[in-house]
Amino acid sequence: MTASTSDTPTTGRQLHDGVPAFAEQVRRTGFVVIPKEELAGLISDADLEELRDAWEDLPVDTEVDGVGVYRERRYSRLRVVVDGDTVTYEVLPHAAFRQDSIPLWEGKDRLFEPVDQDLLLSPTMRALVGFNARMATAAGGNNSWRTGVHLVRVVARADADGLPTPEGRHRDGHSYVGMHLMRREGVTGGLSTVHPNDGGDIVQTTLVQPLDTMFIDDNMITHEVSPIVPEGASGVRDMLIIDMNPMA
């Protein structure tokens, strides 16, 4: 069963004015890094804390067996349509996830447990998905998006570092991808490196605060994230990853 809803966002002036500027940077460089403070008005700290609880109920990602990674994950899909200030969300039927652009996953139908529909259509999740949709529309012009919503936890343990990108430097195979840090506890590392296609300067940054964000044009860059290393017995890095592809 599918469900749909829509929003006319009411956001802080800083965020409303920032979307065109963020999107312009994506058009120029292929990516933008957005600290939490620059997303003022998108969601409240209390709503962010409530959303982060969802990462405590993720099944083990069995699709990474054999590559030395311990990861937990859920995945669902939405159709998201941007019409001026109004964004409409429709839950799409559950399906396998494919990334044929990455040799490690090429030809594999990776099936993950879905995101709970109440969470998927919650106001907080819609605010984050809607932000990514407006960014993609502003950067690329399309207004209807097939959107993947990934809740991902990478675990680092005393006997094994956590690998956010076991595939190494890669392209995700989407039009745009938004990456939001939800939690970083008990670890060091996790350095994100962006490699522009045009041979421009390599950029490195570390997402540290919950809601620190990177948004990329997947056709303009490749990227990777260094291992996370536990400071004690174990630690985690939780990400909300939102992929965007045009949908007729």
CATH superfamily, domain at 4-246: q2cbj1_9rhob like domain (2.60.120.620)
> Using the 8-state DSSP alphabet, how is residue 164 labeled?
S
**The two structure tokens encoding residue 84:** 């001026």
**The two structure tokens encoding residue 201:** 């300067």
Domain boundaries defined on the chain: 4-246
User: Which pairs with CB-CB distance under 8 Å and at least 24 residues apart come from 100-103?
Assistant: 100/173, 101/170, 101/171, 101/172, 101/173, 102/167, 102/170, 102/171, 102/172, 102/173, 103/167
Per-residue pLDDT of the chain (248 residues; tens, 9 = 90+): 467 787 765 444 445 567 999 999 999 999 999 999 999 889 999 999 999 999 999 999 988 876 778 999 999 999 999 998 899 999 999 999 888 787 788 888 889 999 999 999 999 999 999 999 999 999 999 999 999 999 999 999 999 999 999 888 999 999 999 999 999 999 999 999 999 998 889 999 999 999 999 999 999 999 999 999 999 999 999 999 999 999 97
The helix/strand/coil state of 194 is: strand
Q: What is the pLDDT of residue 16?
A: 58
Q: What is the pLDDT of residue 10?
A: 42
Q: What is the pLDDT of residue 66?
A: 67
- First CA to last CA distance, the chain: 21
Nearest CA to 210 out of 64, 86, 53 is that of: 53
**The two structure tokens encoding residue 187:** 């670890």
The helix/strand/coil state of 73 is: strand
Q: What is the pLDDT of residue 3?
A: 76
**The two structure tokens encoding residue 46:** 């209390």
In which residue are the tokens 């343990």 written? 157
Q: What is the pLDDT of residue 11?
A: 43
**The two structure tokens encoding residue 166:** 């076991």
